[in-house]
Structure 1
Amino acid sequence: MSADLPRVLVVEDEPAQREVLAYNLEAEGFHVLRAESGDEALMLVREDAPDVIVLDWMLPGVSGIEVCRRLKMRQETRAIPVIMLSARSEDTDKVRGLDTGADDYMGKPYSINELVARVRAQLRRTRPAAVGQRLEFDDITLDAETHRVTRDGKTLKLGPTEFRLLATFIEKPGRVWSREQLLDRVWGRDIYVDTRTVDVHIGRLRKALCLHGGEDPVRTVRGAGYALG
């Protein structure tokens, strides 16, 4: 799995609909995780938190509404955007879904193109670098579309790993990332890399960011990890 690709979890018990959704999302450049029940969805989120969840309301066992409620109750998962899908098109159902914490709601049948657009809209909020946004922190600018980084107007040369590290940091300034979290986000969950490798690339990122002067913006948090600012 490419660590660059935004991860979308599709939770749909109808196999044909699940595969159509997954096929179209993968064609648009997303890495798709699949679940056919609420229990499987909750397990997948615990193991490998996605960037966006596309969640069917009517699921066997634990319903989509209940899955959403549990995710939004937990500190670790409440920020993951949830797009609820439902054949229930009454306004009261839509309100109930949104009240449970869903970030968006689409009635069935829906347009695949519109769903993909709504997934991208949620990503612009939570992982802007993953959809080509231009991000800034103090005097540092990262253009995700052109893969260009400048500091105080001067172009910096970053390797691909250092670029992904900076993109991760700059999306959430101040957030402390553990080495394990950075390995999952930057290298990918399926690749074995020693945690000390993170320290090596953080050192390279710091060197690149301070090449033309300026204070080191990457903060080491003892016993916890690293943060930007």
Structure 2
Amino acid sequence: MAEKILLVEDSQTQAAFVAAALAADGYEVEVVHTGEDALERVRRQRPDLVLLDVELPGMNGLDVCRALRRERETHALPVLMFTDLEGSPDELLGLQYGADDYVGKSEPIQTLLGRVRRLLDRARDHQRMSDHERLELLKAASDVLSHGVNNPLQVILMSLDLLDGRTEQDERGRRALANIRRYVNRVAKLVRNIEAVARIAQSTLVERRMLLDLRQALEEAELSAKADQDWKL
């Protein structure tokens, strides 16, 4: 799948030239011409990188960059500043406002393409490392769950078996025990799902799409494990 770049440039001519070069290099490019439109577009569907002109009508590129860095969902989004003059104060300000790098408009287009590729590669490496760290944390949590939750659950289930054998229980007591057993089994199922994901974390490479599938599976398991609100004791 082609990586998505949001190009924010008020000049129609400049935008067309840069967008064509990026598309020829294999990227999917969307162009907007104002800072306000850029923020709206990013919030609606996050790109892989923002190529951001400094001089924009209304909200300028520096303010856009600062706004992106303030929001949790976009604070790590790669931003490449696009400036008119190399060595201008805008470059330093852009880096201070959170831009990852800058490129002058007068520089060869291959320089821009090289910096785009470098930022995307760096972002991918960072994401891969973040995924690995999260999986390591999940793996450690599953070890705790195995010993700290599974064993008590087994004791509870055995105790329920003993209580089920008591003949003097009334209907109310039997329903209570059935509810307890059902919820204990749901918790046990959730723990097994977490353990399964943790085992996958031991592999040397975990693809991003696999992580998303696993996260969805865990969320579904968690929903099924939540206690119903229909206890009728």
After TM superposition, the score normalised by the length of structure 2 is 0.57
State the Cα distance separating 1:37 from its structure 2 match: 0.7
Higher relative contact order (CA 8 A, sep 6+): 1
CA displacement 1:121-176 (0-9 Å, x = unmatched): 111122359xxxxx98642436xxxxxxxxxxxxxxxxxxxx7723xx3xxxxxxx
Query: Are positions 1:50 and 2:47 aligned together?
Result: yes
- Indicate the SS of the match to 1:141: coil
Among 218, 221, 224, the residue aligned to 1:220: 218
1:6-17 → structure 2 map (5 Å cutoff): 6-17=3-14
Q: Could you tell me which residue of structure 2 aligns to residue 77 of structure 1? A: 74
1:84-123 → structure 2 map (5 Å cutoff): 84-123=81-120
1:122-141 → structure 2 map (5 Å cutoff): 122-128=119-125, 138-141=202-205
Distance 1:21 1:108 in 2: 10
Preserved CA contact (<8 Å) 1:84 1:104: yes
Change (3 A) 1:91 1:60: closer
Preserved CA contact (<8 Å) 2:54 2:90: no
- Indicate the SS of the match to 2:74: coil
Give the unaligned 5+ runs of structure 2: 133-200, 224-233
Among 9, 18, 22, the residue aligned to 2:19: 22
Query: Are positions 1:41 and 2:41 aligned together?
Result: no
After TM superposition, the score normalised by the length of structure 1 is 0.58
Distance 2:208 2:88 in 1: 41
Decide which structure has greater helix share.
Answer: 2
Letter in 2 for 1:220: L
- Indicate the SS of the match to 2:82: strand
Distance 1:128 1:28 in 2: 20
Give the paired residue count.
Answer: 150
Preserved CA contact (<8 Å) 1:51 1:127: no
Change (3 A) 1:90 1:119: closer
CA displacement 1:53-87 (0-9 Å, x = unmatched): 00000001110011001001111111111000111
Query: Are positions 1:62 and 2:106 aligned together?
Result: no
Change (3 A) 1:113 1:67: same
Superposition CA RMSD, Å? 2.7
Larger Rg, first or second structure (1 or 2): 2
- Indicate the SS of the match to 1:220: helix
Decide which structure has greater strand share.
Answer: 1
Give the unaligned 5+ runs of structure 1: 130-134, 143-162, 170-176, 178-201, 207-216, 224-229
Query: Runs of 4+ in structure 1 displaced over 2 angstroms?
Result: 88-93, 135-142
